[in-house]
Amino acid sequence: MPTVILVRHGRSTANTEGVLAGWSAGVALDDTGRAQATALAARLSALPLAAVVCSPLQRCQETVGPLLATRPELPLHTDERVGECHYGDWTGRKISELAGEPLWTTVQRHPSAAVFPGPEGESMRAMQARAVDAVRDWNERIEAEHGPDAMYAVCSHGDVIKALAADALGLHLDQFQRISADPCSVTVVRYTPHRPFLLRLGDTGDLTGLIPPPPKAEAADAAASAGPAGPAAGGLDAGDAVVGGSTGTR
């Protein structure tokens, strides 16, 4: 199954102002965010991406802009399911004010019980469920079109990415506040039929270690000639974890 590059959008004007943007229109990247987006394109340049899936919100669309400009062959798909949590009546308010609300403690300590107020408010459970469904759906689509070793990017938002990382780790949603996703950081999940593997979490550095190795034709031929008692019979399944730790190769 594919490897998913989860990208949080670059720093936005709302981040700078300490405002909970939610689905507010017109929230753009600030100068730092635009520089982060340019650097992100360079960081992702060596990865064999098959596609980009993006939140419809402006700050995410702007974040993937430099990447698409340098790699125009990449298809862009916009999916509302990886959009920001619907914060309802909290949208557009200062974080410092929201910290005094009774619901703030629930969001921090028991987020699976948190439902944001107002007719447009969403529960954090629903936010996680739709995002996980989106990634699983895109995994199937990308694999069908590009094969099981394909890699694609999803540009989304902090809480959404934290919820996806928690799901990949098998954590209850109530633990997701232990995870951090800074602006323009990269979180990478490789999915297999048996379990996901979290390869990067909130990474802001070099990503070339994610490049898949070239096919080893000689090794494949040797395994085939060895027969059922040879290495192929006792080799690792694609979904197996390496006992003792990863060898640093995919």
What percent of the chain is helix, strand and coil (3-state, nearest 5)? Answer: 45, 15, 40
Q: What is the pLDDT of residues 114-148, one digit of tens each?
A: 999 999 999 999 999 999 999 999 999 999 999 99
Mean pLDDT of the chain: 89
pLDDT at 211: 85
The predicted model gives 45-73 an average pLDDT of 97
In a domain, 174, yes or no: yes
Q: Does an H or E element contain 120, and which?
A: none
How would you class 144 by CB atoms within 10 Å of its CB: exposed for 0-12, middle for 13-18, buried for 19 or more?
Answer: exposed
The predicted model gives 191-218 an average pLDDT of 85
Strand-pair category, 186-191 with 3-8: antiparallel
- Judged against a pLDDT cut of 80, whether residue 202 lies above it is answered with yes
Q: Measuring CA to CA, which residue among 137, 134, 123 is closest to residue 156?
A: 134
Which of these ranges, 26-35, 90-99, 155-164, 222-231, has the smallest mean pLDDT? 222-231
DSSP letters along 160-207, please? HHHHHHHHHHT--GGGGGG----TT-EEEEEE-SS-EEEEEEEE-S--
The predicted model gives 26-48 an average pLDDT of 96
What are residue 4's DSSP bridge partners?
152, 189
In a domain, 67, yes or no: yes
Which residues span the domain enclosing 200?
3-210
The predicted model gives 174-202 an average pLDDT of 95
How would you class 68 by CB atoms within 10 Å of its CB: exposed for 0-12, middle for 13-18, buried for 19 or more?
Answer: middle
In 92-172, which residue ranges form alpha helices assigned H by DSSP? 95-98, 102-109, 124-146, 158-169
Q: Measuring CA to CA, which residue among 122, 218, 131 is closest to residue 167?
A: 131
Going by pLDDT thresholds of 50, 70 and 90, the confidence category of residue 216 is low
**What is the pTM assigned to this prediction?**
0.86
In a domain, 218, yes or no: no
- Contacts of range 177-182, beta carbons closer than 8 Å, 24 or more positions apart: 177/107, 177/108, 177/111, 181/6, 181/8, 182/8
pLDDT at 92: 96
> Cα dihedral angle (119, 121, 122, 123), rounded to 10 degrees?
-110
Q: Does an H or E element contain 62, and which?
A: helix 58-70
In whole angstroms, give the CA distance from residue 83 to residue 23: 8
Radius of gyration of the chain (CA): 20
E-strand ranges in 34-104 read 49-54, 76-78
Q: Measuring CA to CA, which residue among 62, 85, 48 is closest to residue 7?
A: 62
pLDDT at 206: 84
The predicted model gives 83-103 an average pLDDT of 96
Structure tokens given for 54: 């993006």
Please report, rounded to a whole number, the percentage of residues in the chain having pLDDT higher than 90.
Answer: 80
The domain tally of the chain equals: 1
CATH number of residue 203's parent domain: 3.40.50.1240
- Judged against a pLDDT cut of 50, whether residue 13 lies above it is answered with yes
In a domain, 223, yes or no: no
